Structure 1
């Protein structure tokens, strides 16, 4: 498994990371023992980076159970502070930082994460949402810096709401953060235009999320695909007629599979990992079969440069499927 130094923290991490959202039931219910085993399986296969969050249900607790059983070198653990903003506010539109992260809440949420994970230090603590208006006040950054000074966290990061990559550029250039997490995949490569190169220039790590477009870039979606009541993709893929999404996916398959990748998922992972400015890319690996496929893709031969550029230029399809979650 290829590795990268994690920005200014300089800790080597696997370029493919375990996205732990699936441990909290977002993609359907699974047996808890099977979920713990999925974390252990990925660690055994060379994954050294885990990304979880307070907002992911039981995810932190399940990661903690796996860490208790793991006998190897401890992986790099990233989590996120849960917003106190009501409902979906703050995800689709700005709210005051005092509403999202009131004074004292960053510490309270971090302490709870530490207990759930069963660790004394979290390698990276991220704000689970961020808006540049928040830079007008300093208390939230001061609270994070105190947690860092106390050894409760090692690094500070932010997760960018949906596809609005550029709102974080001033914070990246300020030198006050260690990482940015953002949406980045074949259909939406816009983070390559500004965010990723500017993070490179400032030695800020980039965590790419949604690299398989919530599974759509695996080719699983069909006209008759049914999602369970707790699966958030129930609204995600019905932002527009499914036939449009399926046609876009089929175009990719016909042009590049199997010539440059054995599967669509492999193509999507190779695309995201092609640029050296992507420190780590996270995908849900709560099912060992998917973990094995993703790890094999990340460890294989990279895409040729000209193929990467062709996909970047001619297959982008930027749209915000999260609008069905925020606005409908």
Structure 2
């Protein structure tokens, strides 16, 4: 297992982290027992970072994680988010959301609290209400660090420029088919010592040959994804889903990414993915070829 320092938080984190959406049942039914088994196995594999949110399973992910971590809370850096989609990002709602997360997680502190889905609010509300609520909770010892989350890189940039947070989280923006985060986001985060968390290194399942269901109606994007994947055949392994390993190694060895999140309810899958977190990435020749294929070209 490889470890990194998560920016200015100073947290020593495993470079592969466990994503909480599948643990809430968002990608198929699961059970408390399965989630406990997955989390126990993650700890055994050396994973010490778990990321969740109230949105995942409408609270079920947090509840199951809290149950699984009973007696083991100190073994992990625990991250969650606020608030639930559909609720206003007001100061009061933010405080309420975090207090409810603390109860579900059965803990008196969250290591990293993140504003979830910047797309659902405005910059003004985030800066004037949500972040002040986070800072108040930090003063009270209920959270230790503050971050923001968005799929749209441009929404994250002002928070970096103004040094408003400790971490940022985005997804599918440093993959074999779309690595646009490296152009501006990563250099600025590095300059500000703001930790980077990256989700969906398989580009919403595209690189696992299983695009997420919500992508199925986007035929133009899927056709472009197929075109790009055809140009990556030189990386494809012989086994099924042959781009999974190179895709994970691509993200896991990026020096600008502290944590790459993987979400699963399968211990076998988690074991396999964790095995790629050994410091071995693509060869210099492969990296040069990949980076030359789609420079500055967003997929999502």
Instruction: Give me the TM-score of the superposition, normalised by structure 2.
Output: 0.88
Residue 279 of structure 1 pairs with residue 281 of structure 2: no
Q: CA deviation at 1:235?
A: 2.5
| 1:176 alignment partner, one of 161, 164, 169 | 164
Structure 2 CA distance for aligned equivalents of residues 153 and 309 of structure 1:
41
Structure 2 CA distance for aligned equivalents of residues 136 and 64 of structure 1:
27
The verdict on how the C-alpha distance between 1:143 and 1:314 changes in structure 2, with shifts beyond 3 A counting, is same
Question: Which blocks of at least 5 consecutive residues in structure 2 are unaligned?
Answer: none
Quote the residue 2:13 is aligned against: 13
Quote the residue 2:229 is aligned against: 249
Quote the residue 1:95 is aligned against: none
Provide the alpha-carbon RMSD of the alignment. Answer: 2.3
| 1:63 alignment partner, one of 65, 75, 93 | 65
Residue 195 of structure 1 pairs with residue 174 of structure 2: no
Within 5 Å, which residues of 2 pair with 1:205-284?
Answer: 205-220=195-210, 233-240=212-219, 245-246=225-226, 248-252=228-232, 254-258=233-237, 263-284=242-263
Q: CA deviation at 1:306?
A: 3.4
More divergent stretch after superposition (54-63 vs 291-300): 291-300
* 1:175 partner SS: coil
Structure 2 CA distance for aligned equivalents of residues 236 and 19 of structure 1:
20
State the number of aligned residues.
Answer: 290
Within 5 Å, which residues of 2 pair with 1:1-328?
Answer: 1-57=1-57, 58-68=60-70, 70=72, 73-85=74-86, 100-130=88-118, 133-134=123-124, 138-160=128-150, 162=151, 164-183=152-171, 184=173, 185-220=175-210, 233-240=212-219, 245-246=225-226, 248-252=228-232, 254-258=233-237, 263-315=242-294, 318-320=298-300
Instruction: Give me the TM-score of the superposition, normalised by structure 1.
Output: 0.81
The verdict on how the C-alpha distance between 1:238 and 1:148 changes in structure 2, with shifts beyond 3 A counting, is same
Q: CA deviation at 1:244?
A: 5.8
Is this contact kept in 2: 1:84–1:101, CA < 8 A? Answer: no
Structure 2 CA distance for aligned equivalents of residues 32 and 135 of structure 1:
36
* 2:193 partner SS: coil
Q: Which deviations, in whole Å up to 9, do the C-alpha atoms of 1:237-282 show, x marking residues without a partner?
A: 3411766645543442x211349xx941111111112321111010
Question: Which blocks of at least 5 consecutive residues in structure 1 are unaligned?
Answer: 87-99, 222-232, 321-328
* 1:182 partner SS: strand
The verdict on how the C-alpha distance between 1:140 and 1:304 changes in structure 2, with shifts beyond 3 A counting, is same
